[in-house]
């Protein structure tokens, strides 16, 4: 084996010399993070290029290098920098003969722009090797965990293939702790086998399958996000969720690249991937299809597709394209769980506009979209699956989105545009298209509740209507037919008027068979001579043929005239309904019941009576005008006959705010006790606290059989505790319960429940904390319920807070499952039954807790509130110690 050598350009050698002191960063002591692996089948295409501009803008990455790992044979590669102006520069070479590794000198991103492309200059016939961009920079998110969500309906072959690809990724990259796959199976019938329409995917520790009613793309994806953040998978500690289409072809490297990018991604971004059209899993794409869309907010769904039809070998074209999309398709969309908690769940659009609506909501919340061109998703060609049914959902859902955005105020203009759309389809002999548009408007005018409750019936009627206007193989135009694109208009005024008044010659005795080439400019008037019209795509060899039907055209034009009048009459009442219902339809309370088998969606967002609304307004007025006792406000809870769903859906209500406001400074200058549940907490000490104001949490109720003491205030914020102990918590009485509103799906409203807004952090791994001294604004996360109870105590005006039972010491069990610990018997808490064997629980990360306690101490010190640790035993040294016996021997401050 010959010695290895590395060739570099002069500029690279100079940079290497200048940074020689950092050569240790590639030592074996430090971990190496892979960023992007060369995919041999893609060669010198843009997919193998490193997107320097996006990495510089959206990530915390400072530097990278290139590794050549040779297992066999001889390999020589160059690293090429490509700029937007088309200029190229070879930064150097790596060469290896036989088994070994070569490493390129470190490259600072701040010194680069454009793209970096590895180019294989020479390789022996027997060569086996990897080329890898890598770094040992510290990532932004070190404990990354992504839940990949597939939504599928009757596409078992695709989903089984992609599930196997995911499992290959886990195995080859040892990524079991970083990634999980969740399949929302809209074809599953809820049985043990899933039924004939099920996906056939078997779940395991790393793949979860949820049986779902057919709620379309958004319904499936929304269910997946709900289960990730609030539902059955909430205890697994996911940091991100990534949505994937079912008719795509994945590659293990795509998962690996996403993991690397998300590790270094800065807060305030979400990530999409470019889509490439193909019909084969291994087919190398030659042209791009879409890099996201720019939203145009028009009645016609004519958003601008960015990066379409770019040649994948023309890297400067990708560097120069417009890279400011507003939305990304849900063939690949990855965003933070913390952003879901801030903006809510998707709106339940069926199939179309779901991704646009959610991307726009993320954008409005300050979460920018980035799409690296080194990502890729191979997607079945949309043209090959086109049917008129898609138009129904494209237009109807577009109108719903515009109504939510308050963009349909000009009713006359909307009527005019709708009129032109239907007339265009009728003129083009596309009667199924026209009828679907009329049906879409009819359903839209019935309101949001109708669209949700009648979803299955609507779906059946839409697809039953489409019989002819869907693509079938058409390699050449039908015999005897001729292409008529851009047919010149008649110069005879009489003929022009006749064509218009007969809706494109619907009543003329013309018997030609004409062809419209859909890849060229065309208009409905081009087919005016046709008794039969074929819509043909010569590039795809697809198309369909329609026959002129004068009676159907007349019927549809008459229906259009009636629909115009109906729109003018119903729009003023309709649009506010779409705006008012959105908060409910994007809430956990709705999604908890939308999709699972044998459930009905909770649709009570606009179901209150006038009397109920008046009562709620009276409550808010009363709360603002007087500092009522909590018990008084409790008596003004919503009436008993109000449906439970109407109570659950609201999140923080005016009644909650009124109660929280009445508690502000209620105990000004007094002392209180905040209780942990450590082993040092004893029933004897609790008996001595009967006359004190106390805050307690979680399973404190286990001691109630041994003492008459009850906490003044009670709380829970851990989702696993709420799930595991729901019945016991709901049964608690004799205490005022205060919860953050993310508990509502698990702990619904009761007479002694009050909810405050939940204010999660942008990044729960950061040492930075926020502390709320005003519960009407919310409760800030601190990784422990003790932190939340300290905020409650400060809000209520206490000047001395004594913490009791905070041992700050845990023994971790050996068993783990789904990202949670599994109890092997209780040793960490005050009661022997606190954790039963087999119960799942979250292990407290002590350094995070200490950051929280330090911040709470600093905040309380700054406003003159004294916090003491009065625990009998505690390893927490943040707060000054106090002797519990001495404290209790003193008089209670009044």
Provide the Cα torsion 521, 527, 532, 534; round to 10°. Answer: 0
Averaged pLDDT for residues 222-241: 91
Given the structure tokens 């005879």, which residue do they identify?
Answer: 492
Question: Could you write out the DSSP letters of every residue in 309-373?
Answer: T-BTT-HHHHHHS----SB--TTEEEEEHHHHHHH-PPP--SSSSHHHHHHHHHHHTT-EEE--T
Confidence of residue 770 (pLDDT cuts 50, 70, 90): confident
Could you tell me which residues are beta bridge partners of residue 135?
A: 33
| Helix/strand/coil percentages in the chain, nearest 5 | 35, 20, 45
Residues 376 and 498 in one domain: no
Residue 300 pLDDT: 80
Residue 828 pLDDT: 67
Structural domain includes residue 580: no
* 313 backbone φψ class: left, alpha, beta (φ>0; ψ -120 to 50): alpha
18: number of Cβ within 10 Å = 10
- State how far the Cα of 450 lies from the Cα of 581, in Å rounded to an integer: 12
Of the ranges 153-167, 660-674, 831-845, which one carries the lowest mean pLDDT score? 831-845
Confidence of residue 383 (pLDDT cuts 50, 70, 90): low
Averaged pLDDT for residues 711-739: 91
Domain end residue (candidates: 321, 352, 380) = 380
Whether the Cβ atoms of residue 440 and residue 396 lie closer than 8 Å to each other: yes
Say if residue 119 is exposed, middle or buried (CB neighbours under 10 Å; 0-12, 13-18, 19+).
Answer: middle
Looking at per-residue pLDDT, the higher value among 839 and 746 belongs to 746
- What are the C-alpha distances in Å from 757 to residues 601, 657, 739, 753? 24, 10, 9, 13
Averaged pLDDT for residues 27-33: 49
pLDDT at 130 exceeding the cut of 60: yes
Structural domain includes residue 184: yes
Confidence of residue 606 (pLDDT cuts 50, 70, 90): very low
Domain end residue (candidates: 663, 679, 705) = 663
Structural domain includes residue 589: no
Q: Which residues contact 496 (CB under 8 A, 6 or more apart)?
A: 489, 490
Q: Which residues contact 731 (CB under 8 A, 6 or more apart)?
A: none
Residue 813 pLDDT: 58
Averaged pLDDT for residues 100-118: 94
Residue 257 pLDDT: 95
- What are the C-alpha distances in Å from 436 to residues 119, 344, 426, 465? 51, 31, 11, 8
Residues 376 and 394 in one domain: no
Structural domain includes residue 75: yes
Three-state SS sequence of 369-416: EECCCCCCEEEECHHHHCECHHHHHHHHHHHHHHHHCCCCCCHHHHHH
| HSE-up (13 A, CA, CB side) for residue 36 | 25
Helix axis angle, 785-795 to 846-862, nearest 10°:
10
Of the ranges 111-120, 617-626, 723-732, 864-873, which one carries the lowest mean pLDDT score? 617-626
Residues 222 and 266 in one domain: yes
Given the structure tokens 């971790």, which residue do they identify?
Answer: 812
Confidence of residue 786 (pLDDT cuts 50, 70, 90): very high
Of the ranges 491-500, 635-644, 861-870, which one carries the lowest mean pLDDT score? 635-644
Could you tell me which residues are beta bridge partners of residue 431?
A: none
The boundaries of the domain holding residue 273 are: 146-291+307-380
E strand or H helix at 70, and its extent? strand 63-72
Structural domain includes residue 674: yes
- State how far the Cα of 113 lies from the Cα of 109, in Å rounded to an integer: 8
E strand or H helix at 97, and its extent? strand 88-97
Residue 195 pLDDT: 67
Residues 329 and 407 in one domain: no
For residue 820 the two structure tokens come to 């949670």
Three-state SS sequence of 199-218: CCCCCECCEEEEECCCCHHH
- Provide, rounded to the nearest whole percent, the portion of the chain with pLDDT above 90: 47
For residue 844 the two structure tokens come to 């407290």
Please give the order of strands across the beta sheet that includes 74-82.
5-8, 88-97, 74-82, 115-123, 50-51
- State how far the Cα of 573 lies from the Cα of 97, in Å rounded to an integer: 76
Averaged pLDDT for residues 392-404: 92
Residue 655 pLDDT: 83
Could you tell me which residues are beta bridge partners of residue 472?
A: 543
Averaged pLDDT for residues 146-153: 91
Residues 657 and 675 in one domain: no
Q: Which residues contact 641 (CB under 8 A, 6 or more apart)?
A: none
Question: Could you write out the DSSP letters of every residue in 789-805?
Answer: HHHHHHHTT-SEEEEES
Confidence of residue 279 (pLDDT cuts 50, 70, 90): low
Whether the Cβ atoms of residue 715 and residue 792 lie closer than 8 Å to each other: yes
Question: Could you write out the DSSP letters of every residue in 536-603?
Answer: EETTTTEEEEEE--HHHHHHHHHHHHHHHHHHHHHHHHHHHHHHHHHHHHTSHHHHTTSSSTT-----
Averaged pLDDT for residues 273-301: 78
pLDDT at 198 exceeding the cut of 70: yes
Residue 814 pLDDT: 57
Determine how β-strand 115-123 pairs with β-strand 74-82. antiparallel
- State how far the Cα of 151 lies from the Cα of 244, in Å rounded to an integer: 7
Select from 706, 705, 700 the least CA-distant residue to 674. 700
Contacts 24+ apart (CB under 8 A), 488-492: 489/525
Confidence of residue 797 (pLDDT cuts 50, 70, 90): very high
Residue 289 pLDDT: 79
Looking at per-residue pLDDT, the higher value among 496 and 474 belongs to 474
Helix axis angle, 389-404 to 431-446, nearest 10°:
30
Select from 405, 801, 382 the least CA-distant residue to 578. 405
What is the chain's alpha carbon radius of gyration, rounded to the nearest angstrom? 32
Residue 19 pLDDT: 33
Select from 721, 863, 733, 872 the least CA-distant residue to 791. 863
pTM, two decimals, is 0.65
Residues 487 and 531 in one domain: yes
Looking at per-residue pLDDT, the higher value among 10 and 711 belongs to 711
Of the ranges 221-225, 293-297, 729-733, 784-788, which one carries the lowest mean pLDDT score? 293-297
- State how far the Cα of 552 lies from the Cα of 426, in Å rounded to an integer: 9
Residues 416 and 543 in one domain: yes
- State how far the Cα of 783 lies from the Cα of 801, in Å rounded to an integer: 19
Q: How many helices (H) and strands (E) does the chain have?
A: 26, 39
For residue 782 the two structure tokens come to 């601190």
Helix axis angle, 654-663 to 610-625, nearest 10°:
20
Residues 311 and 438 in one domain: no
Q: Residue ranges of the alpha helices (H) in 230-267?
A: 252-264
pLDDT at 388 exceeding the cut of 90: no
Q: Which residues contact 379 (CB under 8 A, 6 or more apart)?
A: 245, 247, 248, 249, 275, 276, 277, 278, 289, 331
Residue 651 pLDDT: 75
pLDDT at 333 exceeding the cut of 60: yes
Of the ranges 93-97, 501-505, 605-609, which one carries the lowest mean pLDDT score? 605-609
Domain CATH code at residue 265: 3.90.550.60
pLDDT at 614 exceeding the cut of 80: no
Confidence of residue 648 (pLDDT cuts 50, 70, 90): very low
pLDDT, tens only, 302-319: 788 888 888 889 999 999
Residues 31 and 51 in one domain: yes
627: number of Cβ within 10 Å = 11
DSSP code of 236?
A: G
- What are the C-alpha distances in Å from 355 to residues 245, 329, 351, 672, 794? 11, 6, 9, 49, 42
pLDDT, tens only, 851-864: 889 989 989 998 99
DSSP code of 175?
A: -
Report the domain count for the chain.
5
- State how far the Cα of 380 lies from the Cα of 540, in Å rounded to an integer: 12
Residues 124 and 190 in one domain: no
pLDDT at 620 exceeding the cut of 50: no
Structural domain includes residue 206: yes
Structural domain includes residue 548: yes
| HSE-up (13 A, CA, CB side) for residue 377 | 28
Domain CATH code at residue 65: 2.60.120
pLDDT at 640 exceeding the cut of 50: no
Confidence of residue 129 (pLDDT cuts 50, 70, 90): very high
pLDDT, tens only, 75-87: 999 999 999 999 9
Q: How many residues does the structure list for the chain? A: 894
Mean pLDDT over each residue of the chain, to the nearest integer: 83
DSSP code of 32?
A: P
For residue 256 the two structure tokens come to 């690996």
Provide the Cα torsion 188, 193, 198, 204; round to 10°. Answer: 90
Domain end residue (candidates: 351, 380, 409) = 380
- State how far the Cα of 722 lies from the Cα of 259, in Å rounded to an integer: 31
Looking at per-residue pLDDT, the higher value among 639 and 837 belongs to 837
Select from 449, 441, 454 the least CA-distant residue to 562. 441
Looking at per-residue pLDDT, the higher value among 645 and 121 belongs to 121
Residue 582 pLDDT: 87
pLDDT at 42 exceeding the cut of 80: yes
Determine how β-strand 88-97 pairs with β-strand 5-8. antiparallel
Residue 11 pLDDT: 31
Whether the Cβ atoms of residue 325 and residue 306 lie closer than 8 Å to each other: yes
- State how far the Cα of 785 lies from the Cα of 362, in Å rounded to an integer: 29
Question: Could you write out the DSSP letters of every residue in 104-166?
Answer: PPPEEGGG--SEEEEEEEEE-TT-EEEEEEEE-PPPS-TT--EEEEEEESS-HHHHHHHHHHH
Confidence of residue 52 (pLDDT cuts 50, 70, 90): very high
Averaged pLDDT for residues 808-819: 62
Question: Could you write out the DSSP letters of every residue in 610-633?
Answer: HHHHHHHHHHHHHHHHS---HHHH
Structural domain includes residue 566: no
Residues 153 and 226 in one domain: yes
Looking at per-residue pLDDT, the higher value among 825 and 294 belongs to 294
- State how far the Cα of 84 lies from the Cα of 503, in Å rounded to an integer: 50
Residues 116 and 188 in one domain: no
């Amino acid at each position: 084996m010959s010695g290895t050598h590395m060739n570099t350009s002069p500029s690279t050698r100079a940079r290497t010399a200048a940074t020689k002191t950092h050569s240790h960063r590639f030592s074996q002591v430090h971990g190496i993070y892979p960023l992007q692996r060369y995919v041999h089948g893609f060669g010198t295409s843009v997919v193998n290029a490193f997107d320097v501009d996006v990495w510089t803008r959206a990530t915390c990455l400072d530097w990278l290098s290139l590794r050549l790992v040779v297992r066999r044979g001889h390999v020589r590669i160059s690293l090429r920098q490509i700029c937007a102006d088309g200029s190229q520069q070879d930064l150097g070479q790596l060469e290896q003969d036989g088994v070994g590794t070569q490493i390129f000198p470190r490259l600072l991103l701040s010194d680069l722009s454009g793209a970096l492309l590895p180019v294989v200059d020479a390789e022996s016939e027997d060569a086996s090797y990897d080329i890898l961009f890598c770094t040992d920079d510290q990532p932004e998110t070190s404990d990354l965990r992504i839940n990949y969500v597939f939504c599928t309906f009757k596409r078992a072959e695709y989903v089984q293939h992609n599930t196997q690809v995911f499992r290959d990724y886990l195995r080859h990259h040892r990524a079991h702790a970083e990634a999980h796959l969740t399949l929302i199976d809209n074809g599953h019938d809820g049985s043990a086998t899933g039924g004939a329409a099920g996906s056939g995917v078997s779940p395991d520790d790393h793949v979860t399958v949820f049986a779902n009613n057919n709620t379309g793309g958004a319904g499936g994806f929304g269910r997946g996000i709900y289960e990730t953040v609030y539902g059955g998978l909430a205890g697994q500690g996911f940091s991100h969720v990534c949505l994937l289409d079912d008719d795509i072809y994945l590659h293990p490297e795509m998962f690996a690249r996403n993991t690397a990018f998300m590790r270094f991604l800065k807060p305030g971004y979400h990530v999409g991937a470019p889509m490439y059209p193909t019909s084969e899993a291994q087919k190398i794409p030659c042209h791009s299809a879409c890099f996201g869309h720019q939203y145009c907010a028009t009645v016609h769904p004519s958003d601008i597709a960015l990066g379409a039809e770019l040649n994948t070998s023309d890297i400067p074209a990708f560097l120069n394209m417009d890279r400011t999309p507003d939305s990304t398709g849900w063939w690949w969309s990855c965003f933070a769980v913390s952003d879901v908690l801030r903006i809510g769940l998707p709106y339940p659009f069926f199939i179309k506009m779901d991704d646009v609506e959610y991307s726009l909501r993320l954008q409005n919340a300050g979460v920018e979209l980035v799409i690296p061109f080194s990502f890729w998703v191979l997607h079945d060609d949309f043209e090959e699956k086109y049917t008129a049914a898609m138009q129904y959902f494209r237009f109807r859902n577009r109108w719903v989105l515009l109504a939510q955005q308050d963009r349909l105020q000009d009713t006359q203009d909307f009527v005019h545009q709708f009129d032109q759309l239907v007339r265009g389809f009728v003129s083009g002999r596309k009667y199924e298209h026209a009828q679907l548009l009329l049906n879409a408007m009819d359903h839209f005018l019935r309101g949001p509740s109708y669209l949700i409750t009648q979803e299955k019936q609507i779906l059946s009627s839409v697809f039953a209507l489409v019989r002819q206007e869907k693509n079938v193989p058409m390699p050449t135009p039908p015999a005897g037919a001729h292409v008529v694109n851009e047919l010149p208009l008649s110069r005879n005024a009489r003929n022009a008027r006749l064509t218009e008044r007969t809706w494109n010659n619907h009543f003329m005795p013309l018997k030609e068979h004409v062809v419209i080439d859909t890849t060229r400019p065309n208009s409905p008037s081009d087919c005016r001579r046709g008794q039969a019209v074929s819509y043909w795509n010569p590039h795809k060899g697809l198309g369909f043929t329609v026959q002129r039907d004068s009676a159907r055209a007349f019927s549809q034009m008459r229906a259009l005239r009636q629909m115009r009048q109906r729109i003018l009459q119903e729009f003023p009442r309709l649009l506010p309904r779409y705006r008012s219902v959105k908060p409910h339809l994007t809430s956990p309370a709705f999604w908890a019941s939308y999709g699972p088998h044998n459930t009905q969606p909770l649709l009570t967002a606009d179901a209150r009576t006038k009397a109920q609304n008046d009562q709620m307004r009276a409550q808010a007025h009363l709360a603002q005008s007087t500092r009522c006792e909590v018990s008084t406000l409790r008596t003004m809870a919503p009436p008993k006959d109000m449906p439970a769903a109407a109570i659950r859906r609201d999140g923080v209500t005016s009644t909650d705010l009124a109660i929280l406001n009445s508690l502000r400074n209620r105990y000004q200058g007094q002392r209180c006790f905040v209780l942990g549940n450590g082993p040092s907490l004893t029933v004897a000490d609790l008996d001595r606290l009967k006359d004190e104001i106390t805050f307690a949490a979680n399973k404190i109720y286990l001691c109630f059989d041994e003492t008459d003491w009850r906490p003044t205030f009670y709380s829970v914020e851990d989702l696993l505790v709420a799930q595991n102990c729901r019945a016991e918590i709901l049964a608690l009485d004799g205490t005022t319960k205060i919860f953050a509103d993310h508990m509502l799906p698990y702990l619904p409203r009761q007479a002694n429940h009050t909810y405050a807004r939940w204010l999660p952090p942008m990044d729960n791994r950061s040492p930075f904390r926020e502390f709320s001294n005003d519960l009407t604004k919310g409760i800030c996360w601190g990784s422990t319920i003790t932190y939340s109870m300290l905020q409650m105590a400060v809000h209520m005006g206490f000047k001395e807070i004594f913490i009791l039972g905070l041992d700050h010491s845990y023994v971790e069990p050996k068993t783990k499952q789904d990202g949670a610990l599994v109890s092997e018997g209780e040793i960490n808490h005050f009661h022997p039954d606190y954790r039963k064997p087999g119960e799942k629980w979250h292990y407290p990360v002590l350094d995070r807790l200490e950051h929280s306690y330090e911040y709470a101490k600093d905040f309380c010190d700054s406003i003159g509130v004294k916090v003491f640790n009065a625990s009998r035993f505690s390893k927490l040294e943040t707060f000054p110690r106090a002797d519990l016996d001495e404290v209790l021997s003193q008089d209670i401050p009044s």
